Amino acid sequence: MNTFFQEVREFNQTFGLPVKSGPVVDSNLRDRLVLFKKIISDEVNEVDEIIAKLDGETIDPLEVLTDVADWLGDIVVYCTSESVRLGIPMEDVLRLIMHSQYSKLVDSKPLIRDGKVQKGPNFVAPEPRIRALLNSIRYAKGLQE
């Protein structure tokens, strides 16, 4: 059985979208990111339709939850597809980010302000580990510049 990440990779291949074997910066990265920003912004803004349903007099909870699940899923698929286009191993990156998230705890408890988990004094940023991961893949695949 394929993982979600493998399915997205196959989706990109099937639909003729780029699939990189490792993390590389192409000459068209700027244009790629500008287009991705527009696509993901449009997708994020679709939440307004769900919010409008919640402003109605009667709501069908299952319909709203279905809409939210579909909305969140579309965002995850778009982001994962973009990572495949750039050769970024998103599953590994997400693991590093989650590891970093746990470093926010203070005495095994989260600091939450305005509904958002705050960074504690022992927070370890994920970027150095992500950089090391990407560099090791680039080196292993001979993608060093």
pTM of the predicted model as reported, rounded to 2 decimal places? 0.86
**Do residues 100 and 123 touch, judged by C-beta distance below 8 A?**
yes
- pLDDT per position as a tens digit, 71-86: 999 999 999 999 999 9
The neighbour count for residue 120, using CB atoms within 10 Å, is 14
**Do residues 91 and 5 touch, judged by C-beta distance below 8 A?**
yes
Q: Report the distance separating Cα 1 and Cα 76, nearest Å.
A: 20
> What is the rounded average pLDDT of the residues 127-139?
94
- Give 142: exposed, middle or buried? Use CB within 10 Å, 0-12, 13-18, 19+: exposed
Domain residue spans in the chain?
1-13+29-87, 89-145
Q: Report the distance separating Cα 78 and Cα 97, nearest Å.
A: 19
For residue 92, name the pLDDT band (cuts at 50, 70, 90). Answer: very high
